[in-house]
């Protein structure tokens, strides 16, 4: 499960986490090695496979971490576990953005003792465990990441055995405790807050379009529970695979339920007694007033314009999101204006 986290949030959170390490290492001198900057990266071709017998990721940390020049002080080493060679291009872009944000935070913190130790988890549990061991072997005192809940579960015992705090990007609360902390809000809390806000604004009928993964399921379950608690109506729900081309059909189906009165042909074939029945199944014939869209970044910019493209009047239909919408880049997307 990818943690929904914005580039504006990560630097602040990273700096706060790193500050804890610095406080714990207060006996260290004030000067020391600076964090590796992008200009210090050594060339490394990730398309070149490792040499025979080399058990390193193709996305080697030599690309980021320059040789250490001690300058008479020990650095505060911070492991950063991200899926630089994850299974999809979208995951790799998220990893790259988060790494850039972490570097920015290190420099903005204004303390030259930070030393990032980025490690590639490959987006797998085994890769995450290996990355955690590698970071610890390189002297990491605290670890940020991994990105997925399955990775976090695999890395947690490795970090725990070494007594190193693990601050994960996943929002799956099952990974917490015993030295594992979060840089995120669980989706259930975010959904409760946004639902409460919307209904206080007089919105009663909702649509939902969410990714077809565990995160989307958690959002859907939480949203249904919050609406039932507050007396709201889920008019229609759609799921999509996180690929821009595969968002088209779900968005088009959802758009059909935005009319003031839902077309009769869309009301046929529903069983009100069926678990998970929508507002239409329960006898509601009016379209939604708002759509919850728990997506972020590039995928959100691809998804949001599809609703007006399929004739949803976004001046009257409110778009609702989660904390990952706190991203200045999203203000450039006209479809999200007022969301």
Q: What CATH number is given to the structural domain containing 311?
A: 3.40.50.2300
- 223 and 286 both lie in a single domain: yes
What is the reported pLDDT for 326?
81
- 327 and 231 both lie in a single domain: yes
- 174 and 31 both lie in a single domain: yes
The model's pLDDT over 310-334, given as tens digits with 9 standing for 90+, comes to 999 989 999 999 888 887 777 778 8
- Are 132 and 117 spatial neighbours (Cβ–Cβ below 8 Å)? no
- 164 and 20 both lie in a single domain: yes
Last residue of a domain, one of 138, 155, 182: 182
Nearest to 37 by CA among 63, 6, 7, 71: 63
2 falls within a domain: no
What's the number of domains the chain is made of? 2
**Rounded CA gap, 245 and 326, in Å?**
25
Last residue of a domain, one of 165, 182, 199: 182
136 falls within a domain: yes
226 falls within a domain: yes
1 falls within a domain: no
DSSP state of 266: G
Domain range holding 88? Answer: 9-182
- 178 and 191 both lie in a single domain: no
DSSP H/E element including 126:
helix 125-137
Residue 96 sits in a domain whose CATH number is: 3.40.50
What is the reported pLDDT for 268?
53
Q: Give this prediction's pTM.
A: 0.60
Query: Distance between the two ends of the chain, CA-based, in angstroms?
Result: 24
- 226 and 143 both lie in a single domain: no
- 246 and 312 both lie in a single domain: yes
- 115 and 134 both lie in a single domain: yes
217 falls within a domain: yes
Torsion of CA 60, 65, 67, 73, to 10 degrees: -140
- 174 and 192 both lie in a single domain: no
What is the reported pLDDT for 126?
96
Last residue of a domain, one of 182, 209, 232: 182
- 126 and 40 both lie in a single domain: yes
- 196 and 263 both lie in a single domain: yes
- 192 and 263 both lie in a single domain: yes
Q: Give yes or no for a cis peptide into 146 (omega within 30° of 0).
A: yes
What is the reported pLDDT for 172?
66
pLDDT in tens, the chain (339 residues): 333 333 344 444 455 454 444 444 433 333 333 333 333 333 323 333 344 444 444 444 434 443 344 344 577 889 999 999 988 887 888 888 888 888 887 777 666 677 889 999 999 999 999 999 999 999 999 999 898 888 988 999 999 999 999 988 876 666 555 678 777 678 888 999 999 999 999 999 999 999 998 889 989 999 999 999 999 999 999 999 989 999 999 999 999 999 888 877 776 544 545 544 455 545 568 899 999 999 988 889 999 999 999 999 989 999 999 888 887 777 778 888 888
114 falls within a domain: yes
302 falls within a domain: yes
4 falls within a domain: no
């Amino acid at each position: 499960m990818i943690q929904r986290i914005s580039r504006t949030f990560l630097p602040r959170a990273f700096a706060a986490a790193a500050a804890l390490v610095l406080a714990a290492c207060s006996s260290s001198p004030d000067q020391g090695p600076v964090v590796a900057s992008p200009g210090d990266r050594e060339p490394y071709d990730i398309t070149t496979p490792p040499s025979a017998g080399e058990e390193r990721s193709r996305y080697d940390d030599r690309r980021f971490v320059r040789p250490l020049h001690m300058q008479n002080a020990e650095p505060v080493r911070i492991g950063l576990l991200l899926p630089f060679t994850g299974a999809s291009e979208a995951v790799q872009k998220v990893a790259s953005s988060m790494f850039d944000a972490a570097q920015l935070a290190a420099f903005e913190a204004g303390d030259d003792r930070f030393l990032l130790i980025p490690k590639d988890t490959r987006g797998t549990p085994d890769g995450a465990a290996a990355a955690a061991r590698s970071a610890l072997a390189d002297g990491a005192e605290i670890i940020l990441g991994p990105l997925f809940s399955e990775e976090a579960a695999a890395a947690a015992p490795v970090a725990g055995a070494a007594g190193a705090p693990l601050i994960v990007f996943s929002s799956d609360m099952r990974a917490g405790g015993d030295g594992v902390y979060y840089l995120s809000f669980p989706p259930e809390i975010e959904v409760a807050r946004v639902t409460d806000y919307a209904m206080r604004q007089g919105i009663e009928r909702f649509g939902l379009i969410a990714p077809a993964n565990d995160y989307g399921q958690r959002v859907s379950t939480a949203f249904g529970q919050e609406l039932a608690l507050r007396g709201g109506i889920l008019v229609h729900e759609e799921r999509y695979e996180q690929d821009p081309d595969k968002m088209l059909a779900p968005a088009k189906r959802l758009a059909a339920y935005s009319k003031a009165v839902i077309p009769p042909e869309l009301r046929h074939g529903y069983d009100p007694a069926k678990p998970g029945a929508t507002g239409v199944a329960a006898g509601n014939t009016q379209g939604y007033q708002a759509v919850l869209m728990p997506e972020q970044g590039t995928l959100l910019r691809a998804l949001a314009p599809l609703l007006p493209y399929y004739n949803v009047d976004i001046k009257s239909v409110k778009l609702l999101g989660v904390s990952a919408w706190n991203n200045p880049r999203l203000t450039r997307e006209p479809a999200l204006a007022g969301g």
